A = this chain, B = another copy of it.
Amino acid sequence: MDEKLLETFNGTAVKLAGHGRRDIAVLKEALAGVEDSLAGDMYGAGKVIEEFQAEMAEVLGKESAVFFPSGTMAQQIALRIWCDHKGSRQVAYHPLCHLEIHEQDGLKELHHLEPLLLADADRLITLDDVKNMGPDVACLLLELPQREIGGQLPEYAELEAISAYCRERGVILHLDGARLFEVLPYYGKTAAEVCGLFDSVYVSFYKGIGGIAGAILAGSREFTEESKIWKRRHGGDLISLYPYILTAKYYYQQRIGRMGGYYEQAKELAALFNSCHKMSTLPEVPVSNMFHVHFALPKEQLIPVLVQVHEETGIGLTPRLKETGETSCSYELSVGDLYSGVSKPALKEAFRLLDRLLIEA
């Protein structure tokens, strides 16, 4: 039945979410304007990597930045460096932090760090959680937005208070900014302003930016120089990373100015979902381009509904569902370039059909 959902989704003419297929055209488009004779980077050196690192250091308001093949690698290394500096093995993060649930415990198996899980899984970390976390925490990681709970954000004043508290107590603050660019319109801040609250920052180039892969880790020069040693240890200091760097640079330029639009469209789209029965979004009003869609229906009852919407309207909602309980399921949605190609009347029609089918289900 899951296959039927995927198959009908793939068969739709337009999709609500994302920037489009992750196919080879993504790479070819980014390379089209690059001169053939541009030299590739060599083990972290060369114009192509150094210029992009300098550009991102500037954007993030940090002294220095290093390009990594993945955020998984960059963040483990950041936490390791801070723990070594502090002489403690303990880091603190959210129970649904990427390092805790998506990395096969690399942080523990490779670096032997000990995470303290702050907050309940279904809510954000608060200043109170931070105040109660005990004296052994070397580094606190905050993820903005908190992806696994729909992309929620603390109010900016709370963030500032957490940052001030950490500075006062000598706790290092690291930003998991996988989707940092996507939250700037809500905060009404520059990336450098937000990053100014943190000692180190990771950003990704294949979420809202829509590149192929790759990440930037930024901080003081001392910090990034140390991170390069660990990058080599991890096997991430590839002879050439330029395929990722050139695409990151190209799509950053193309999409960084669209983040405000994605955010507005996400709010518009969430309102449509929330106007239907047995369905709601988390957060109810998005604070970035992303949200989760929750259904008060068992997966096996919901799939035929979504399949019918796919087949009758040609609008793709989702290729897959996650079961969240016996009578509930959900999926994640991130607004990208595709949304503006969806006709508004057709979209409203699709939601009318969806609502009718949900009422009957």
Contacts and interface: CB of A to CB of B under 8 A. Distances in A.
A336 to B, nearest CB: 15
A69 B72 contact: no
Interface string A217-254: 00000000000011011111111111110100000000
Interface stretch (A18-26, A164-172, A287-295, A300-308): A18-26
A315 to B, nearest CB: 21
A212 B34 CA distance: 17
Given A213-B238, A213-B240, A233 B110 contact: yes
A235 B23 contact: no
B22 A36 contact: no
A37 interface: yes
A224 to B, nearest CB: 15
Contact of A235 (B21, B35, B74, B109): B74
Contacts of A34: 24
A85 interface: no
Given A212-B40, A212-B243, A243-B244, A69 B235 contact: yes
Interface string A97-136: 0000001111001110000000000000000000000000
Contacts of A68: 235
Given A68-B235, A104-B233, A24 B31 contact: yes
A27 interface: yes
Contacts of A110: 110-111, 233-234
B22 A40 contact: yes
Contacts of A212: 40, 239-240, 242-243
Contacts of A243: 27, 212, 243-244
A258 B206 CA distance: 38
Interface in A249-283: none
Contacts of A236: 69-70, 73, 234-236
A38 interface: yes
Contacts of A157: none
Contacts of A344: none
A205 to B, nearest CB: 10
Contacts of A241: 213
Contact of A239 (B27, B36, B206, B230): B206
A131 B110 CA distance: 32
Q: Which 7 A-B pairs have the closest CB atoms?
A: A73-B235, A106-B233, A243-B243, A72-B235, A25-B36, A70-B235, A213-B238
30 contacts: A21-B39, A22-B39, A22-B240, A23-B36, A23-B39, A23-B40, A24-B37, A24-B38, A25-B37, A26-B40, A40-B212, A69-B69, A69-B235, A70-B235, A70-B236, A70-B238, A72-B234, A72-B235, A72-B237, A73-B234, A73-B236, A104-B232, A104-B233, A106-B235, A110-B233, A110-B234, A213-B241, A234-B234, A234-B235, A243-B244
